Structure 1
């Protein structure tokens, strides 16, 4: 059952405001509570239930050590996503979605490696051997790649899931994830089709307050998953240390018993 306080916080953030009724997608009907002044109102009890379902799944993904790629290129969302995803140590795309980001991941990784190459050149002195014009070209290339791909430099393999803010705007990202069978989590407004989304969070994807409260909740679950993983790893390390100590203990006892026997023979 949805917690009333959770629903109230979502209400205060304006998560319930959908789009104009004439712009709605009929597939969102199960998540719509009513129509008011020509605007659809989202059922926040269903939003809370779906949000809980999504956060639980994301916590498990994070606990398994896999990455969730956040996608939000709209003005209201990019800074919010960059902040919270960065704090959770998750990759994110907040500039233009690079075509083939998922379906042509090898090429994207090559572009990221170019950035690393430039950084190495600056460290080992090769950068200084270039002409002024060449250095300018290299710096421009590095800046462009940093802007578009800087947040995914640590993403060495395909993400385990995608989290999307505004599936209509990010339809290319959604299409690529669907093609590869990557689970999609998303804030879905009343003008979008939820059928292709694995974890639908019916919500206002235009207001910054609405985006903030949902992303904060989602990344909070991811952080909890990372803590679960850390605790599990610590427990495993302690168990290994205890096992080693147990193996050493019998040998020490054997040495004590053997020592007197040797003295008697002498």
Structure 2
């Protein structure tokens, strides 16, 4: 992901409770989910180990574990709680993230992408023409997608007939729980 897009992507995704990748896309992140989920488990194990009692570890061992955790956090931090492949994917720079788009196409995941004049729109289900280089434009796109995701989640809760005020859990989790209960 472009530097100017990294922070707006993370902020917008966190604001609407969505998963994100705002650093380098690892090959197989969607098509080889089994391996990626093992890396996520490793990240969680490292966080537990480092947050607990580390008195038995040498300074060098702690430093190595911290570096490994930081590296995994950078690559997988935004998808750590993702249970599987997404239903749709939003991409800022389609040229730079061509591998992500190819993986989504292999799995039949629709892609929404911001297309600058230098991008081939093939393989993108929902192209949005726009400037993917300017940081203000990127922030605008991310905020618009975050707002749409939040609105969609809230409408899903309203359509389900759930009382939002009486919920203990956030609306997205409630909808998922109700859907699982009905199945």
Which range, TM-score by smaller chain?
A: 0.7 to 0.9
Q: Where do 5+ consecutive residues of structure 1 fail to align?
A: 1-72, 239-266
Tell me which residue corresponds to 2:140. 213
Which stretch has the larger CA shift, 225-234 or 136-145? 225-234
Tell me which residue corresponds to 1:177: 104
Deviation at 1:110, TM superposition (A): 0.8
Of 112, 134, 150, which aligns to 2:40?
112
Query: What is the alpha-carbon distance in structure 2 between the residues aligned to residue 98 and residue 150 of structure 1?
Result: 13
Distance 1:122 1:165 in 2: 34
Contact 2:102/2:123 (8 A) holds in 1: no
Runs of 4+ in 1 over 4 A off after TM superposition: none
Q: Deviations over 1:169-193 (max 9, x none)?
A: 1111111111111111110111111
Secondary structure of 1:129's partner? Answer: coil
- Mapping for residues 172-251 of structure 1, pairs under 5 Å: 172-231=99-158, 232=160, 234-235=162-163
Report the number of matched residues.
Answer: 164
Q: Distance in 1 between matches of 2:9 and 2:70?
A: 21
Offset, 1:130? 2.4
The 2-side partners of 1:166 and 1:119 are apart by: 31
RCO (CA 8 Å, sep 6+): is it higher in 1 or 2?
Answer: 1
Contact 1:122/1:128 (<8 A) preserved? no
Deviation at 1:124, TM superposition (A): 5.0
Note if contact 2:21-2:75 (Cα within 8 Å) is conserved in structure 1.
yes
Which has the larger helix fraction? 1
Q: TM-score, length-normalised on structure 2?
A: 0.82
The within-5 A match list for 1:3-14 is none
The equivalent residue for 1:92 is 20
1: CA distance, partners of 2:157 / 2:16: 14
1:79 and 2:4 aligned: no
Aligned CA-pair RMSD = 1.9
Q: Which has the higher strand share?
A: 1
Unaligned stretches of 5+ residues in structure 2? 167-183
